[in-house]
Structures are given as C-alpha cells and as structure tokens.
Amino acid sequence: MGAFRTAVILEILANISSIIPLILNPDFALSFLVTGPSQITPATRTLARYFGGFVATITVPLLLSIPTPAPGPAGEAQRGTRRTTYLTLGAGEVALGGLMAWAYATGADSGMTDMALLGGAMNLGAFLIMRYVFLFGKPELLEERGVKKTA
C-alpha cells in the first residue's frame, strides 16, 4: 500500500474515533474541549453532534479516495477526486485551524480550553502540511501513476 493510501486510511480511522463520541456521547467529547462542566449545555451537545455529523460527511470523500487509480479515464477521474478532496479539506483546515489559532492567540472567550484550541490548530496544521506534500510537493504519491491496480 502506498504512502497516500496509508495516510488516507489513518485519517479515516482518526475521523471515526472522533465521530463516535461526538455523536453518541457528546458530554464525554466536550469534557476534553470546554473550560468546565457548566459549558456543556443542550446547545453545545447539539453542536457537538452536528460537528460529528460533519466529520462523518467529510470522511466520505476520503473513503472514495482509497482505490488505486486504474489506467485511462477512470484513473484520471480517481486522481481528480483525490485532488478535489485534499483541496477541499485543506481549505477547511485553513479556516478552522486559523480560527482556533486566532482564539488562542487573542485569548478570546471561546469557552474552550487553551489546550483544545492549540491542540486543534496544531492537529489541523499537521493535516494541512500533509495535504500540501501530496498535492504540491510529491503529487506522484497522490497520483499513483504506474502502480498496479489492486482490489
């Protein structure tokens, strides 16, 4: 399995590990993010569940990026799916990571712990760097040209 597919599968597993508590046990997930129990309200529970649903939604294009591109037009379409997925997720990481970094740097009252803000921004930054490498630094890893198609 190539570097790109390994990275995608690891990202999918990371997403699933956050989807489950966000949707099924938002109080548990929120306990790591907010400044205190009083911050866990019906609204934050609902927003945590919505965010879990959003993470599940953005996991679908990652799943569609797993297959090795076939030769010909189908393979080009698969490569396009991979590029579009990574560009879209990268844009989200710039936006969300930037907001988290801004809230941390300015000390804005977000209701989130500094560790959650800084950790979230760093996590999103790491994924953004990985996407940059696959899209621009080593696009041959994303494209998998010349790799034999496997099931």
Nearest to 123, CA basis, from 14, 26, 39, 34: 14
Write the pLDDT tens digit of every residue in 65-117. Answer: 999 998 889 999 999 999 999 999 999 999 999 999 999 999 989 999 999 99
For residue 112, list its beta bridge partners: 34
Q: What is the pLDDT of residue 149?
A: 55
Structure tokens at 41: 């309200």
Nearest to 144, CA basis, from 66, 64, 62: 66
Domain boundaries, the chain: 3-140
- Alpha helix stretches (DSSP H) within the chain: 3-24, 26-31, 42-64, 73-106, 114-132, 139-143
The pTM of this model reads: 0.88
Q: What is the pLDDT of residue 109?
A: 92
For Cα atoms 4, 128, 85, give the angle at the middle one, nearest 5 degrees. 55
Structure tokens at 8: 């995608």
Write the pLDDT tens digit of every residue in 15-65. Answer: 999 999 999 999 999 999 999 999 999 999 999 999 999 999 999 999 999
Q: What is the pLDDT of residue 145?
A: 75
Nearest to 82, CA basis, from 69, 93, 99, 91: 69
Q: What is the pLDDT of residue 148?
A: 61
- For the cut 70, the answer to whether the pLDDT of residue 118 exceeds it is yes
